């Protein structure tokens, strides 16, 4: 026997059979499997008790190769002849009955003319080795799982647990796996994380609540669910596993089972036969143990953070006194609130932060706590509070904890500043209320409800000085006798309303002890019990005699005021900022052709144009509490008549915030005066046209002369028979141009001569300059007056009447022309000129008209704009030109002025530039 044979025999605790012990080649071996082979490796004979387990164990007439009996992967170990296998250990897998595999180990030795292959069964040995390898793998995986769960961050903990469940499921081919934790708050189980294969049913969800069925499982060892007889006691949890076979592994700590590893659709005995219950318990413990530790650590940290936040919000914190060292330790939040060191300050340093009024008492109570164990409860103030600021109050509580060497003095401080200050304010308010009731002219009373009647049971002390009566004097039916006879029905109705509606407010007269009556304002409220039945009435009497009498006087005064307003010839009204009338007197109603009672709610702006209304509202918006008054002339289109002009004065009424809430207005009709002014302006305009007649005749004669010469020339050519089409066309075009020139002058005279528009319009002053020059330019030049016109094209807008501004410019230029021609009559060498130019800034535009006529006598400058004042000879001028011009410019919001320059008079028309609004 070789050394290998001896070693293998000792390993299996068996002995080999010698060749000389085998009768008849193989005989009848008592163990293993013996094969007799020929030199080519063919099987001649099979013996041994294991031969019956082979798929082919009966001999054949012809020896079959050994490869016929072994599985395909074992043929590599038996290549060649038997003589080549000597000294080798052969591991061969034979095909057994029922698709089983026999794991055999053997060796070859010569026997007679052939070879003996002696084999023994090593299946148990391989099974133990595979179990050991699986157990080592399980321990290695458990170690990695525990390390992963301990090392990850708190935020990634759920993801890491899910990854570990996935690794376990994939390693042991578990279709559905979940980790269930005990929910202490819900008293049940909840899925923390789960994993399922892509082809497995979706049995569980993350954070799914499972209830209490898992409580029926025993926590001593892993539990098999369904699939086998004997597991009917787990019928309560069958539904959790999809009514299929499953496996549940518990995790235990000092509280019992706190976690389960749930494996569904998993026959553990056949899927993982090499893992014992201890392996599963260890594997799950490596996952559940660190996970629960991390979760409890996180919960503990959150609890500490909540406690610290709560202490910070409440301004509280714990304290502990070390009596033997006379030191105190404070919670960080409390130390920060007291602005103290967070270490272990001396006890007296802590007491120094307490107000002197409370410090000695706290020191005494701490001594009693230390010596006698008396519980400490005390409210103290902090030192250093500002006199004008509310004090900072703390509730200090403490007790003795432990005994002997473990005896400790612990407690806490709670900020009660709000409560304490409210109590102090409430006490002060109560004292003020008592003092107010005692000194107030109001009488507070209580009437008890008894059998449908209200009986007086209390009056405040103010009843005696007010009426001279006492509670005894007002008892029984005496109170009703003190009420004025005319007001008793009101008092009885007051009582019925109070009982019916629960509150009442009324006014009646009550007699005092001297026999005089006082007007009392009675306000009362009925108090009821839980069933809604009346209990008592609480109310007060307020003496309003003076106010009532004053109201009567005011009422009489208002009546007189109303008569005065109604009989006034002026229009008086009140309206809101949106122009809606709230009151109007009879004259206003007459103008608007409606009844006075129909005026409230009428829109005053409905008789104005959009432009007038906008200007009106803009003027109201400019009113302020400092400047509440405004006066303007407004134009209205009244029903069935021409435009009316009113002089309107407004006064704004403002609230406490300075906002306009109402407008009081007084107006008078200015229509006749306005029409007279318009007629005067129109008369002045026509007078100006009369003075311009000579110039206008020249302006029209010029184109007529040109047309006459053109016609004469054409007739002469026709008489000579010399007719050319180009010549005729040129003459006809010249005639047409002169006709248009004359028509333009006539048209402009017609426009200038008609009445102005009712309302002012926006226009460019350059249009007035252009119109003036179209009427006067040729006439001026024909009389030898040089016109010096600067650039007059500019973009600016003013508000007024373009024809009236043109009238002013014509007046100024005609006056200048007359003065210049008069001077030239005296001085033949005199060269007259009139200059017109424009200036502007951000707010105004100025039109200058200047001449070299020598100017105006300084003594006459102040009177130059007076009506009917003129420097022309009698019968030549009306004296209205400059006066009307001054009024026109003033009505447009501008100013007309004059001064003498070095060579003559210089007039300035200054107009405000209209804003975009």
Distance from C-alpha of 613 to C-alpha of 148, rounded to nearest angstrom:
83
In terms of domains, do 418 and 527 share one? no
Confidence of residue 851 (pLDDT cuts 50, 70, 90): very high
Of 913, 568, 869, the closest CA to residue 762 belongs to: 913
Q: Does residue 433 sit within a domain?
A: no
Q: Is residue 588 part of a domain?
A: yes
pLDDT at 12 over 50: no
Task: Let me know whether 699 and 847 are in one domain.
Answer: yes
Q: Does the structure show a pLDDT above 80 at 384?
A: no
In the sheet where 408-415 sits, what is the strand order? 327-330, 317-322, 408-415, 393-401, 376-381
- Identify how many contiguous H helices and E strands the chain contains and give both numbers: 21, 34
Q: Which helix (H) or strand (E) holds 86?
A: none
Identify the residue whose tokens are 């390693």. 171
Decide if pLDDT at 8 tops 50: no
- b/e 207-233 (16+ beta carbons within 10 angstroms → b): eeebeebbeebeeeebbbbbbeeeeee
Q: Out of 140-144, 341-345, 529-533, 902-906, which region has the weakest mean confidence (pLDDT)?
A: 341-345
Say if residue 565's pLDDT is above 80: no
* 310 is a domain residue: no
* pLDDT of res. 6: 40
In a domain, 706, yes or no: yes
CA–CA gap between residue 237 and residue 216 (Å, rounded)? 8
- Characterize the bridge pairing of strands 786-789 and 833-840: parallel
| Average pLDDT of the residues in 375-402 | 83
User: 779: exposed, middle or buried (C-beta count within 10 Å: 0-12, 13-18, 19+)?
Assistant: buried
State the pLDDT at residue 193: 92
Long-range contacts for 689-694 (Cβ within 8 Å, ≥24 apart)? Answer: 689/749, 689/752, 689/753, 691/814, 692/775, 692/776, 692/779, 692/810, 692/814, 694/779
Compute the distance between CA of residue 278 and CA of residue 729 in angstroms, rounded to an integer. Answer: 130
How buried is 261 (Cβ within 10 angstroms: 0-12 exposed, 13-18 middle, 19+ buried)?
buried
Terminal-to-terminal C-alpha distance of the chain: 127
pLDDT band at 670 (very low <50, low <70, confident <90, very high): low
Q: Is the pLDDT of residue 910 over 90?
A: yes
> In this structure, are 114 and 144 located in the same domain?
no
634, 648 contact by CB (below 8 A): yes
pLDDT of residue 60: 63
- Last residue of one domain, picked from the residues 267, 302, 337: 302
850: confidence class by pLDDT, cuts 50, 70, 90: very high
- Rounded Cα gap, residues 799 and 790, in angstroms: 23
- Is residue 810 over pLDDT 50? yes
Query: In whole angstroms, what separates CA 502 from the centre of its chain?
Result: 42
More confident call, 501 vs 568: 501
Structure-token pair, residue 219:
């926590």
The pLDDT confidence band at residue 227, using thresholds 50, 70 and 90, is low
Confidence of residue 28 (pLDDT cuts 50, 70, 90): low
The model's pLDDT over 744-798, given as tens digits with 9 standing for 90+, comes to 555 555 555 444 445 678 888 888 888 888 777 777 887 888 988 887 677 888 9
pLDDT in tens, 75-112: 666 778 888 888 888 888 887 777 777 888 888 989 88
Q: What is the mean pLDDT of residues 872-879?
A: 50
- Whether 557 maps to a domain, the answer reads no
User: What letter does residue 52 receive in the DSSP assignment?
Assistant: G
The one-character DSSP state at 490 is H
Three-class SS state of 608: coil
pLDDT category, 679, cuts 50, 70, 90?
A: low
Shared-domain flag, residues 580 and 656: yes
d(CA 20, CA 887): 161
For the stretch 252-274, pLDDT in tens is 888 888 899 999 988 888 888 77
Span 330-340, pLDDT tens digits: 888 788 778 78
In the predicted model, what is the mean pLDDT of residues 593-609?
82
Which has the closest alpha carbon to 456: 505, 518, 548, 522? 522
What domain count does the chain have? 6
Interatomic CA distance for residues 99 and 97, integer angstroms: 6
Answer whether 122's CB lies under 8 Å from 91's CB: yes
Cα separation, 103 vs 88, whole angstroms: 17
Domain boundary among 617, 634, 669: 669
Q: For CA atoms 602, 608, 613, 619, give the dihedral sign.
A: negative
Share of the chain above pLDDT 90, in %: 9
Q: Among candidates 508, 498, 589, 586, which has minimal Cα distance to 541?
A: 508
Give percent above pLDDT 70 in the chain. Answer: 79
Name the band, by pLDDT with cuts 50, 70 and 90, for residue 801: confident
DSSP 486: G
Strand partners, 377: 397
Tell me the residue length of the chain: 917
Residues 514, 465: Cα–Cα separation, whole Å:
12
Q: Are 328 and 320 in contact (CB under 8 A)?
A: yes
Using DSSP's 3-state secondary structure scheme, residue 789 falls into strand
Specify the 3-state DSSP secondary structure of 300.
Answer: helix
CA 699 to chain centroid, in Å, comes to 75
pLDDT of residue 77: 66
CATH number at residue 206: 3.30.450.40
Residue 880 pLDDT grade (very low, low, confident, very high; cuts 50, 70, 90): low
Looking at the structure, do residues 294 and 396 belong to the same domain, yes or no? no
pLDDT at 486: 92
Same domain, 337 and 364: yes
Distances (CA, A) of 208 to 238, 241, 294, 473, 824: 17, 14, 21, 78, 117
Q: Is residue 832 very low, low, confident or very high in pLDDT (cuts 50, 70, 90)?
A: very high
Whole-model pTM: value is: 0.38
pLDDT confidence bin for 4, thresholds 50/70/90: very low
pLDDT (average), residues 482-486:
91
Mean pLDDT of 527-539: 89
Mark whether 897 and 783 lie in a shared domain: yes
Domain CATH number, residue 329: 3.30.450.20
Place of tokens 């309560």: 236
Residue 835 lies inside a defined structural domain of this protein: yes
pLDDT tens by residue, 634-669: 777 666 556 777 778 888 899 888 889 898 888 877
Give the per-residue pLDDT at 194. 92
The kind and range of the H/E element at 257 are: strand 256-264
| 357 plus 411 within the same structural domain | yes
Tens-place pLDDT, residues 276-321: 888 888 888 888 889 888 888 888 888 877 777 776 666 678 888 8
pLDDT for 917 = 41
Measuring CA to CA, how many Å separate 107 from each of 79, 86, 91, 916? 14, 7, 9, 120
Three-state SS for 879?
Answer: coil
Residue where a domain terminates, one of 603, 634, 669: 669
Alpha carbon 448 to chain centroid distance? 53
Question: Could you tell me if residue 435 is inside a domain?
Answer: no
Bridge partners, residue 114, by sequence: 111
Q: How confident is the model at residue 444 (pLDDT cuts 50, 70, 90)?
A: confident
Q: Are the CB atoms for 658 and 623 separated by under 8 Å?
A: no
Residue with tokens 């090593």: 122
Is residue 627 domain-shared with residue 700, that is, in the same domain? no
Burial 490-510 (b: 16+ CB within 10 A, else e): ebeebbebbbeeeebebebbb
**Cα radius of gyration (the chain):** 62
Alpha helices in 538-648, H assignment, sequence order: 545-567, 586-591, 610-621
CATH number at residue 719: 3.30.565.10
- Which residue(s) pair with 838 in the sheet? 847
Please check whether residues 169 and 114 belong to one and the same domain. no
Write the DSSP assignment of 162-195 as a string of letters: HHHHHHHHHHTT-SEEEEEEEETTTTEEEEEEEE
Whether residues 297 and 171 share a domain: the answer is: yes
Please check whether residues 202 and 266 belong to one and the same domain: yes
Would you call 801 helix, strand, or coil by DSSP? coil
Q: Is 253 domain-assigned?
A: yes
Residues 6+ apart with CB under 8 A from 557: none
What does pLDDT average to over the chain? 79
DSSP states along 407-476: -EEEEEEEE-HHHHHHHHHHHHHHHHHHHHHHH-SSEEEEEEEETTEEEEEEE-TTHHHHHS--TTTTTT
Residue 179: predicted pLDDT:
93
Those residues with Cβ within 8 angstroms of residue 415's Cβ, 6 or more apart along the chain or in another chain: 314, 315, 316, 337, 392, 393, 394
Rounded Cα distance between 889 and 47, Å, is 147
Total Cβ atoms within 10 A of residue 251: 22
Q: What is the DSSP string of 136-151?
A: HHHHHHHHHHHHHHHH
Contacts of 34 (CB under 8 A, 6+ apart): 17, 26, 46, 47, 48, 116, 117, 118, 119
Which residue segment(s) compose the domain that 233 sits in?
128-302
């Amino acid at each position: 026997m070789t050394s290998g044979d001896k070693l293998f025999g000792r390993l299996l605790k068996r002995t080999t059979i010698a060749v000389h012990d085998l009768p008849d080649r193989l005989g009848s071996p008592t163990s293993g499997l013996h094969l007799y082979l020929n030199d080519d490796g063919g099987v001649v004979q099979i013996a041994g008790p294991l031969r019956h387990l082979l798929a082919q164990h009966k001999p054949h007439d012809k020896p079959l190769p050994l490869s016929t009996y072994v599985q395909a992967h074992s043929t590599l170990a038996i290549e060649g002849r038997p003589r080549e296998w000597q000294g080798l250990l052969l591991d061969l897998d034979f095909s057994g009955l029922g698709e089983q595999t026999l794991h055999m180990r053997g060796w070859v030795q010569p026997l007679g003319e052939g070879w003996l292959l002696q084999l023994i069964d090593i299946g148990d040995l391989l099974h133990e080795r595979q179990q050991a390898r699986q157990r080592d793998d399980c321990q290695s995986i458990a170690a990695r799982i525990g390390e992963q769960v301990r090392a990850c961050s708190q935020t990634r903990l759920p993801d890491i647990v899910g990854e570990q469940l996935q690794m376990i499921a994939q390693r042991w081919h578990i279709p559905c796996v979940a980790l269930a934790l005990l929910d202490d708050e819900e008293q049940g189980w909840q899925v923390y994380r789960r994993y399922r294969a892509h082809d497995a049913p979706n049995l569980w969800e993350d954070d799914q609540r499972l209830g209490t069925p898992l409580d029926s499982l025993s926590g001593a060892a892993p539990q098999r669910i369904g699939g086998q007889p004997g597991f009917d006691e787990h019928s309560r949890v069958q539904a959790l596993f999809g009514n299929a076979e499953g496996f549940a592994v518990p995790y235990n700590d000092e509280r019992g089972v706190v976690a389960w590893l749930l494996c569904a659709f998993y026959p553990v005995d056949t899927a993982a036969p090499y893992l014992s219950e201890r392996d599963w318990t260890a594997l799950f413990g490596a996952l559940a143990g660190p996970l629960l530790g991390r979760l409890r650590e996180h919960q503990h940290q959150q609890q500490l953070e909540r406690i610290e936040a709560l202490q910070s919000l409440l301004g509280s914190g714990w304290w502990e006194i070390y009596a033997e060292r006379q030191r105190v330790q404070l919670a960080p939040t409390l130390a920060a609130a007291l602005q103290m060191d967070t270490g272990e300050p001396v006890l007296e340093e802590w007491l120094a932060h307490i107000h002197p009024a409370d410090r000695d008492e706290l020191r005494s109570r701490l001594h009693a706590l230390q010596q006698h164990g008396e519980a400490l409860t005390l409210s103290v103030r902090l030192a250093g509070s500002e006199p004008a600021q509310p004090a900072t109050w703390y509730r200090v509580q403490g007790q003795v904890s432990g005994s002997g060497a473990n005896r400790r003095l612990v407690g806490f401080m709670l900020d009660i500043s709000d409560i304490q200050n409210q109590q102090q304010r409430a006490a002060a308010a109560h004292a003020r209320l008592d003092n107010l009731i005692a000194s107030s002219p109001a009488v507070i009373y209580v009437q008890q409800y008894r059998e449908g009647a209200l009986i007086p049971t209390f009056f405040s002390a103010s009843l005696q000085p007010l009426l001279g009566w006492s509670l005894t004097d007002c008892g029984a039916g005496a109170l009703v006798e003190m009420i004025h006879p005319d007001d008793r029905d009101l008092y009885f109705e007051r009582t019925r309303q109070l009982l019916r509606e629960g509150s009442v407010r009324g006014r009646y007269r009550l007699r005092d002890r001297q026999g005089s009556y006082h007007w009392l304002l009675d306000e009362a409220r009925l108090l009821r019990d839980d069933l809604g039945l009346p209990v008592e009435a609480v109310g007060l009497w307020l003496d309003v005699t003076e106010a009532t009498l004053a109201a009567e006087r005011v009422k009489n005064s208002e009546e007189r005021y109303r008569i005065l307003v109604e009989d006034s010839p002026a229009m008086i009204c009140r309206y809101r900022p949106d122009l809606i009338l709230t009151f109007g007197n009879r004259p206003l109603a007459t103008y608007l052709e409606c009844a006075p009672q129909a005026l409230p709610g009428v829109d005053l702006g409905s008789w104005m144009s959009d432009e007038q209304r906008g200007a009106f509202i803009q003027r109201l918006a400019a009113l302020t509490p400092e400047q509440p008054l405004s006066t303007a002339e407004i134009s209205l289109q009244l029903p069935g008549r021409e435009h009316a002009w009113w002089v309107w004065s407004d006064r704004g009424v403002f609230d406490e915030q300075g906002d306009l809430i109402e407008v009081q207005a007084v107006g008078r009709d200015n229509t006749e005066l306005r029409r007279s002014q318009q007629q005067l302006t129109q008369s002045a305009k026509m007078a100006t046209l009369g003075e311009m007649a000579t110039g206008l005749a020249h302006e029209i004669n010029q184109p007529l002369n040109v047309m006459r010469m053109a016609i004469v020339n054409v007739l002469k050519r026709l008489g000579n028979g010399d007719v050319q089409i180009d010549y005729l066309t040129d003459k006809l075009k010249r005639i047409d141009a002169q006709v248009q020139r004359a028509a333009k002058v006539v048209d402009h005279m017609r426009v200038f001569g008609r009445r102005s528009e009712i309302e002012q319009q926006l226009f460019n002053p350059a249009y007035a300059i252009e119109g003036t020059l179209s009427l006067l330019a040729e006439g001026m030049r024909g009389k030898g007056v040089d016109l010096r016109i600067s650039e007059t094209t500019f973009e600016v807008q003013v508000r007024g009447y373009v024809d009236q501004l043109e009238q002013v410019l014509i007046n100024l230029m005609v006056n200048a022309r007359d003065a210049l021609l008069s001077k030239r009559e005296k001085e033949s060498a005199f060269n007259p000129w009139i200059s017109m130019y424009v200036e502007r800034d951000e707010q105004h535009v100025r039109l200058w008209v200047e001449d070299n006529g020598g100017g105006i006598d300084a003594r006459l400058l102040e009177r130059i704009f007076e009506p009917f004042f003129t420097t022309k000879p009698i019968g030549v001028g009306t004296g209205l030109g400059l006066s009307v011009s001054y009024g026109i410019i003033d009505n447009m919001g501008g100013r007309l002025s004059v001064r003498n320059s070095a060579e003559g008079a210089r007039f300035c028309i200054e107009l405000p530039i209209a804003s975009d609004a």
